[in-house]
Amino acid sequence: MTRHTIDPGWPSFARVTYVPAVATRGGTLVFTSGLNAIDEDGVLQAPGDVVGQARAIYAKLATLLAAAGGSLADSGNPYERAFAWIGRSTPRDAVFAMDAQYITREGEDAQSFRAIAERSVLPDFSKDGGVVTNKPELAAEWFEGQMAQTELSARPDAERVAVLKPLGVNWVVLEREALTGFVCGYANEAVKVCRLP
């Protein structure tokens, strides 16, 4: 397998003791080193602001991908593409629901909804379930979220609204094949993103 080092054009590139990114498969697969929110001058960006730090890291990732001839929009993962669309196209105060077991779906590939979409979502089974093991006082809220989202794509719209609206949900991510009369602003081969009425 051939590989080549990606030069992101950072002034510090000549000084670093690691390779920030490597491309293989003719440049279609890019591996990055660990990225952080520290700028070229060694200053932490957005101290105490995890969202601001995530934005700084994604900006670095975008630079690396651009240097390799790609972009964040080039993801082949349908979940990642949907979550990115949500981050660009829905209100910042939107609250989402999606199947609580979404992380186990084929092709989902452990994409983190909150990190990519930068939106609120009811608790998921695996990631938030891990939090509950460390913070048992969150168990009731976690369980309520699980029950509200179980088999979400198989439910009729009236039931979705009745269960989700009281929890503050105003958007849903459903499996592509789910039957719904909701207005869905985005769809791909795996999921669709719909607004509750």
Please state, as a whole number, how many other Cβ atoms lie within 10 Å of the Cβ of residue 155. 20
Q: Which parts of the chain sit beneath pLDDT 50?
A: none
Domain residue spans in the chain?
A: 3-74, 78-195
How high is the pLDDT of residue 26?
63
Q: Which fold has domain 3-74?
A: 60s Ribosomal Protein L30; Chain: A; (3.30.1330)
Which helix (H) or strand (E) covers residue 132, if one does? helix 126-134
pLDDT of residue 107: 64
Sign of the CA dihedral with 52 first, then 110, 117, and 89 last? positive
Beta-sheet strand order (sheet of 191-195): 120-121, 95-98, 171-175, 191-195, 183-187
Decide: helix, strand or coil at residue 110. coil
Amino acid sitting at position 144? E
pTM value surpassing 0.75 = no
The tokens of 121 are what? 């979502």
Compute the CA torsion angle 89, 48, 168, 149 (nearest 10 deg). 80
Task: Mark 53-76 as b/e (b = at least 16 C-beta within 10 Å).
Answer: bbebbbebbebbbebbebeeeebe
Secondary-structure breakdown of the chain: helix, strand, coil percentages, each rounded to the nearest 5: 45, 15, 40
State which amino acid sits at residue 168.
G
pLDDT at 109: 56
Residue 66 one-letter amino acid: A
- pLDDT of 159: 97
**Per-residue confidence (pLDDT) for residue 178, from 0 to 100:** 96
Tokens of residue 96, six digits: 């989402």
In degrees and rounded to multiples of 5, residue 44 shows phi and psi of -65, 125
Give residue 24's pLDDT.
Answer: 80
pLDDT for the residue numbered 104: 74
